[in-house]
Structure 1
């Protein structure tokens, strides 16, 4: 007779095998279809079959792909391959040559295929992904120039996040008062965690920065801790109007596992509880489409039930589901609660049914209609305006999920 524990171990073992397969298929997709052998860097806009439909190159996605390749090369024996390392180095050199501006440590947002600059974004995210790429390149190559570039850009990111972002070029107009956007402390905390998690000295050095990020993320938890809002006032007060009622459940869940990782780092039980119960579980409940269409996370919502302005609000995108897979596994590893495992199963089953490509070509689809249809937009890679579909969220999900499942199974086997 099976027991709940035996059933959980069996289920997670099956998930592990399938996610391992998805990781290999996904890596093969990007290695096969996204490399620009003529000019360097990576093609970002790819059809279901991997055909390039636009050769514009996006700084976010270039940096993410370098980081992902390096991460896999460094942390997994089966991906310690020369072709992966060569591609990461070539991508990093393309970033340095064509995206990075040494005079002010800014990075272009988009460039032409040959590297000519097109557009500079007035946000700190392209620089953040450049920094993550340089940090991982230094770890896998030992080349100090990558670390020096990461350090130089970090100083600017910290200044823009914590002090003054006016030099990014976005004016602060009288009718648009300053606000605390969830993405800023989240991105800064992600940068800090990736920089510091393996270095005790850096953890001590940036303890105050991590505390600042954590406090600013927590300030988005509003309405008696029932909702995580995308934008609040600098003082952590709900804003008026639709902007103040705006929620992205997937983003809130992602913030939750960032906070949970921080809580585990600090051994902070109160932060663990807040991360799991309010950022992950409650945000999942707010966003899960339980009434219609077989589930899935709705992209945007108005917390008062009023119309949500973005036209894509009722769509179901790949990346919130990837973040929920990570979040629930991380939460279950932290706290063996069957409800957390059940939530993981919901997201996992939905994702495998609707986002996974059952054909020979790997990688997930990115965009679903509310009913789960992907017929109108069956892309595997897209530009920023199409929500950054690229070599990052799925592969990070598969990589982290397999690590977490192994840790969970190892603990259960030791205990029993």
Structure 2
């Protein structure tokens, strides 16, 4: 099974995802195009989300690490140059939310989530380029998050251009406006994990331990065996919501953090939580060869979203590597087969559908590319699965 999966992930990465995103490069105005609609019409004048650009930078940096393809290096440098020239606020610091097609500022909001993804991208670009500017910018954004985007209890969310707090409408959903979110905390942890992996900076390590404390003491709900999602500033949960996709993503991202930190006390305390998360997701959300989206007030959302399926493939593979329980390997393979049949868009010039409905049809007609639809989740699935399958085959 794993030999076939390895070849399939390599082919998906090299044969579809990399070539598709190479063609989204905007050679006239810089960066990458921000919108390809469901009918595959390219909107050259659409906004360019800075999160999208950071995720593209992260993707091509990691694609180059794995494939050593000079075109991937070129696209990574192209994304880096756009981030440096346009996404960064040279006056107040930090990364803007979005730009017009020509690189001028469209939305000057500074969101902690956005700063984190820029760090994640920059530190991976630094690894392939040795460009000191990338490391310097990543460290400066870390300092901005720590001095402007948090308080003594944890990480805050949304700010204006001058880093004065603003309403968190960009990462709040389901009818609430959250003062803190599980999602932002998770991706700060993700960014800091790679920053620490590369720099071994003790200040970053201290922050990671703090985030793990918040995760285990405030976000994790041991009674319901899930993470809560949206909070007020005092960590009171604002809604009965179970985000299946974020939970399975958390299960392996936190384990990766534990590996990088290499702190036995942290691992002893946190690893049982991530194991519980994966087991619970397997038991209640893995249905019809795929993963449900979320459950709000006891009602399941049956939409199958592209990123949720990609994270499930990795999350179940991680659980298999931790436990040796073959049900997780079988589930990882099963969800990958679902992706191949229903999520991948085989139309020429396309990539993956955003989602499919309970009848396995892309009835929402959501865009193939837009500020949130990117090569981060499906590209990372390929990177992770290629590395993990090789580790399984070598007995590591």
* Band the TM-score falls in, shorter-chain normalisation: 0.7 to 0.9
CA gap of 1:132–1:139, structure 2 versus 1, over 3 A, is same
Q: Distance in 2 between matches of 1:251 and 1:272?
A: 17
Q: Note the alpha carbon deviations across 1:315-365, whole angstroms, 9 max, x for none.
A: 221001111111111221222111222321332222222112344546322
**Match of 2:309?**
321
Q: TM-score, normalised by structure 1?
A: 0.82
Q: 5+ residue gaps in structure 2? A: 169-175
Q: Note the alpha carbon deviations across 1:58-80, whole angstroms, 9 max, x for none.
A: 10000110111112212x1xx22
**Match of 1:7?**
none
The answer as to 2:368 corresponding to 1:380 is yes
Task: Indicate which of 48, 56, 69 corresponds to 2:47.
Answer: 56
Q: 5+ residue gaps in structure 1? A: 1-10
The answer as to 2:40 corresponding to 1:88 is no
Q: CA deviation at 1:160?
A: 4.2
Answer with 153-162 or 56-65: which moved more.
153-162
Secondary structure of the structure 1 residue equivalent to 2:395:
helix
Q: Distance in 2 between matches of 1:378 and 1:180?
A: 28
The answer as to 2:350 corresponding to 1:394 is no
Secondary structure of the structure 2 residue equivalent to 1:98:
helix
The answer as to 2:246 corresponding to 1:251 is yes
Q: Note the alpha carbon deviations across 1:345-403, whole angstroms, 9 max, x for none.
A: 332222222112344546322221122111441632123xxxx1112111111111111
Secondary structure of the structure 2 residue equivalent to 1:15:
helix
Q: Distance in 1 between matches of 2:244 and 2:178?
A: 23
Q: Distance in 2 between matches of 1:44 and 1:225?
A: 39
Q: Distance in 2 between matches of 1:409 and 1:148?
A: 38
What are the residue-to-residue correspondences of 1:11-410 with 2, within 5 Å?
Answer: 11-24=1-14, 25-32=16-23, 34-47=24-37, 51-53=41-43, 55-74=46-65, 76=66, 79-163=67-151, 165=156, 167-170=163-166, 179-199=179-199, 201-202=200-201, 204-218=202-216, 219-222=218-221, 224-232=223-231, 239=237, 243-264=238-259, 265-267=262-264, 268-277=267-276, 279-288=277-286, 290=287, 294-302=288-296, 304-305=297-298, 313-361=301-349, 363-377=351-365, 379-383=367-371, 388-410=372-394
Q: Distance in 1 between matches of 2:43 and 2:241?
A: 33
CA gap of 1:362–1:342, structure 2 versus 1, over 3 A, is same
Q: Note the alpha carbon deviations across 1:103-122, whole angstroms, 9 max, x for none.
A: 22122211111111111235
Q: Distance in 2 between matches of 1:283 and 1:159?
A: 36
Q: TM-score, normalised by structure 2?
A: 0.86
Secondary structure of the structure 2 residue equivalent to 1:407:
helix
**Match of 2:171?**
none
Q: Is the Cα contact below 8 Å between 1:122 and 1:169 reproduced in 2?
A: no
Q: Distance in 2 between matches of 1:208 and 1:287?
A: 34
CA gap of 1:23–1:362, structure 2 versus 1, over 3 A, is farther
Q: Distance in 2 between matches of 1:143 and 1:16?
A: 32
Q: Distance in 1 between matches of 2:147 and 2:243?
A: 26
